Amino acid sequence: MAISKVVMPKLSEQMETGKIIKWLKQEGDRIQSGDILAEVETDKADVEMEAFGSGVLRKILVAAGGTVPVGALIGVIAEPNEDIASVGPGGPEMAPRTPQPATSPVTQPAAPPPATQPVTQPAAPPPATQPVTSQPATARPATPQPVTLQPAAAMAEAPGRVKASPLARKIAAQSGVDLKLVQGSGPGGRVVRRDVEAASSGGALRPTAAAVPAASVPAGVEFEDRPLSQMRAVIAKRMSLSKAPVPHFYVSSEIAMDRAWTLREELNGLEGQPKISVNDFVIRACALALLQHPGVNASFQGEAIRVYHRAHIGIAVALEEGLITPVLRDAHAKSITQIAAEARDLAERARARKLRVPELSGATFSISNLGMFDVTEFSAIINPPEGAILAVGTVRKIPVVTGEGLRVGRRMMLTLSCDHRVMDGAMGARFLQDVKHLLEEPLRLLV
């Protein structure tokens, strides 16, 4: 049986490096093709890595906590009697993994010191010539703690995620409460439902940065530089590649949401059915409209425009460390209740960083909704290589003049950002017009 090299896989289109969170198999374990070897942290999610060969896991070359480029060798699978010297220590996998000189074994003793030394971060990847590095690599978790301020008074919420129950997160998102400002009363300071409800009604909040007493900030310290997280670094790179070279133009439309709001309330009153959000109506409307306007469901490919015949909708989900856009595939072929259930599942797993590989990329069109933050309207930046993205505002109650006089109506603003290389203004306007008609006649979304 041939020796199988285990390399860091490319788990998303933008992935350049990956971090081993933990190995689920150990050296000496029998491996079958398709077995889950390890959990890998990418710029978007924590993903399970499969084995593509069978045999025995003979060597682990990058221990838990190690970060390596895509394609770098991290392990070897082979039968017990096979010679793996050619892919062992000093093999080709070492060169791309670290910019340090080949004599970097002398840095090995520097790895075990406590993770409180941010300056040792460049030396934290596993030693270059030691294949089994499970002990030294424990210093690697220092990566998420690169804050350069030493004083303990530096805002405690900056480095990590807020501990909160799933229900508390859901209620906070619906009510627009920032969990970072909520004082948790659960075990270990965990934010629970009652904390969010108290905060939304004007209860006690954690002091914001502006409310921290001046004495808690060291004299002379006016700012701090927080290193980019892996996700934020990718967002910065991707957005600069989008906004600068992609010629954006925008079309906006106000949608009468009265009938859609009433229909949503009726559907949510049905027992045993998933709760449907306004965003689910928007996803369904866009998916149907994309089939009628394939020129919007397209991307610029340099010498050609690629037109997609299936609607894979990217749904923007805000995380504490950045933004992620999991993909709802074949949205055009799903009912409103299917979309509601799958979109909610995607959002929950995105926040838990448990998305699957196919859900990380492949969108043909994206939707970004800031309505839960009471944003009236905004313009979103296109996520390359997609040709368009729809920005969704909140549903507002406003005075509306009709033929019968003045009444209160529900209105929502939509803004479509378009790549002018892919489409012109009239094409984007016709697409948005059809989305408007579908939302204002929502029974069509149920057919």
Query: How does pLDDT run across 22-71, given as a tens digit for each residue?
Result: 999 999 999 998 888 998 888 777 888 888 888 999 989 999 988 899 88
Rounded-to-10 torsion of CA 328, 287, 174, 341: -50
- Catalytic hit among 309, 330, 424, 437: 424
Catalytic residue check, 420: yes
Q: H/E element holding 256?
A: strand 248-256
Spatial separation of the C-alpha atoms in residues 260 and 176, rounded to whole Å = 22
For residue 428, give the nearest of 445, 415, 413 by alpha carbon: 415
Band (pLDDT 50/70/90 cuts) for residue 242 is: confident
Q: At what angle do helices 258-268 and 425-440 cross, to 10 degrees?
A: 50
**b/e for 411-431, b at 16 or more Cβ within 10 A?**
bbbbbbbbbeebbeeebbbbb
> For 122, left (φ over 0), alpha (ψ -120 to 50), or beta?
alpha
Who contacts 314 (Cβ-Cβ below 8 Å, separation ≥6)? 325, 326, 327, 328, 363, 365, 366, 367, 383, 386, 389
The count of other CB atoms within 10 Å of the CB of residue 202 is 7
pLDDT tens-digit readout, 381-400: 999 899 999 999 999 999 99
Catalytic residue check, 424: yes
Spatial separation of the C-alpha atoms in residues 220 and 217, rounded to whole Å = 9
Spatial separation of the C-alpha atoms in residues 140 and 65, rounded to whole Å = 5
- Catalytic hit among 29, 178, 248, 420: 420
The pLDDT value given to residue 202: 56
pLDDT tens-digit readout, 142-190: 444 443 333 333 333 334 467 777 677 767 766 667 777 777 776 667 7
Band (pLDDT 50/70/90 cuts) for residue 231 is: confident
Rounded-to-10 torsion of CA 202, 375, 209, 149: 140
The DSSP 8-state label assigned to residue 136 in this structure reads: G
The count of other CB atoms within 10 Å of the CB of residue 126 is 29
Mean pLDDT value across residues 256-280: 95
